[in-house]
Structure 1
């Protein structure tokens, strides 16, 4: 079991890698999605690990999966929603994405961030990963949030505002 950005991941692949390399740094690739409702609010999930911290739906790629496929799968698993067109916000990587887990495992995370206004399905909570999921307006975003996810949201809003001004 591995914790990535506060998310508990149980992947045989990751566990197999850890058996080979111990706690030395690894690189993981994941995807997050900003889901925007018709009122302009964004969907966040209150995570179980670390307890109570809010973040964007998303997670790690599995072998043979694209970042888009990982984003779609994770959103569905965590929220019950199926997303339509995914629009790239940015790719986040580098030294600031270095994490040391509580168990001493070290890793760098490359995060591909998307946004979408296209989704369908019945919103539900995956209690193994989340306490609740909820849409928030920009002014109501919780303070207890995964730091890198706040950075993604800030960039989304900055780009979105610039786009609206240019129209």
Structure 2
């Protein structure tokens, strides 16, 4: 059981502040890796930090778990937080995410392997031609990425 699950046993569904990392992985053709989540939305790979884990470690771990892609050096893009990102999950859990966004062009292994649980698909897309169903939050993050690409 992970940190968040243990915490939820204590606090139930009440709002929490949770910290996570997402990574915009850019290949040599300037395409960005997106994963399709089970809800049908395309998003950047990423997830919440576990106890003792750095934001960079969490980003690399989540990218590998969700897409099979191995990455190296990360460059900080920004931190996204605030009431506009408030989430209520289908099970009633509520949280305010603090999302630390990175960009990575240091791809160690580009072979995509989806887990079928957190990701039902993963592909590289032209950053100017994102697929239908790309999360509005992710579009905002990608706009931020585009400034530094």
Range of TM-score over shorter length: over 0.9
In 2: Cα distance, 1:149 partner to 1:103 partner: 23
The runs of 5 or more residues in structure 1 that have no matched partner are 1-10, 161-167
Structure 1 position 129, deviation (Å): 1.3
**SS at 1:90 equivalent:** strand
Structure 1 position 104, deviation (Å): 1.8
**Residue aligning to 1:35:** 25
Structure 1 position 27, deviation (Å): 1.1
Alignment of 1:126-145 (within 5 A): 126-145=115-134
How many pairs were matched up?
148
In the superposition, the TM-score normalised over structure 2's length comes to 0.93
**Residue aligning to 1:107:** 95
Structure 1 position 153, deviation (Å): 0.4
Q: Which has the larger radius of gyration?
A: 1
Tell me whether 89-98 or 139-148 shows the greater mean CA deviation: 139-148
Please provide the CA RMSD for this pair: 1.3
Moved over 3 A (4+): none
Tell me whether 150-159 or 60-69 shows the greater mean CA deviation: 150-159
**Residue aligning to 1:75:** 63
In the superposition, the TM-score normalised over structure 1's length comes to 0.83
Structure 1 position 19, deviation (Å): 2.0
In 1: Cα distance, 2:146 partner to 2:128 partner: 12
**SS at 1:39 equivalent:** coil
**SS at 2:63 equivalent:** helix
The runs of 5 or more residues in structure 2 that have no matched partner are none
Deviations 1:42-81 (A, max 9, x none): 0001111x1x210001111011000000001011111212
